[in-house]
Homo-oligomer: A and B are copies of this chain.
Amino acid sequence: MIRVLLADDEHLIRGAMAALLALEDDLTVSAQAATGAETLSMARALHPDVAIIDLQLPDMDGVRVAEVLHRELPTCRTMIVTSHGLPGHLRRALAAGVRGFLPKTAAAEVLATVIRTVAAGGRYVDPQLAAEAISAGDSPLTTRETDVLTLAATGAPIDEIARRASLSPGTVRNYLSAAAGKLGAANRHEAARRAREQGWI
């Protein structure tokens, strides 16, 4: 029997997925969590075979949860389920030791199959998403460019970005100009949008 931990902040979806998995004889949902912290404490207590983690959790990123899980409980395989299948997320997830990556647009039937694959030590990545991730390539932005662009994404004026990043306004403008150039955007706002679409910020 494969023991599964389900982590998703959307109760309705979590409950529905639990109902879906209950139909399988060899799977059992032994715990459900709504936040990253909850996921970690439950996993530590129950040692599930597979943790299915939503990418968007209220307190922390699903990939970071997987990272900690991978370090603390190497026997617990992790997989990510997400609404927004962005190339950058997949890259980060694989780097964090995630064994399965499934967009919520995937067919309902594959979920159980992937859980079994992952539990057996295999890997599974949605084929279409994998293709996109490969063709999209890696983020061309440096660490600081990413930081600054992330702050810029809220729509804040340069002075505020500078204050929040503890940089001079001039430096902020330089980074944003560089980022916009790399992303082929006419201004920082379009740059932020493009970076978001790729999952780079």
Contacts and interface: CB of A to CB of B under 8 A. Distances in A.
Interface of A: 9-20, 22-23, 81, 83, 102-109, 111, 154-157, 185-187, 189-193
Given A11-B107, A105-B10, A193 B154 contact: yes
A102 B11 CA distance: 11
A187 B107 CA distance: 42
Given A16-B108, A108-B12, A157 B187 contact: yes
A185 to B, nearest CB: 7
A41 B108 CA distance: 23
Contacts of A17: 12, 16
B13 A190 contact: no
A10 B83 contact: yes
A106 B12 contact: yes
B16 A13 contact: yes
A12 B104 contact: yes
Interface centre among A10, A103, A155 (most CB of B within 10 A): A155
Given A23-B19, A83-B83, A193 B12 contact: no
A70 to B, nearest CB: 23
A165 B89 CA distance: 34
Contacts of A109: 15
A15 B20 contact: yes
Contact of A20 (B16, B102, B156): B16
A156 B193 CA distance: 10
A108 B20 contact: no
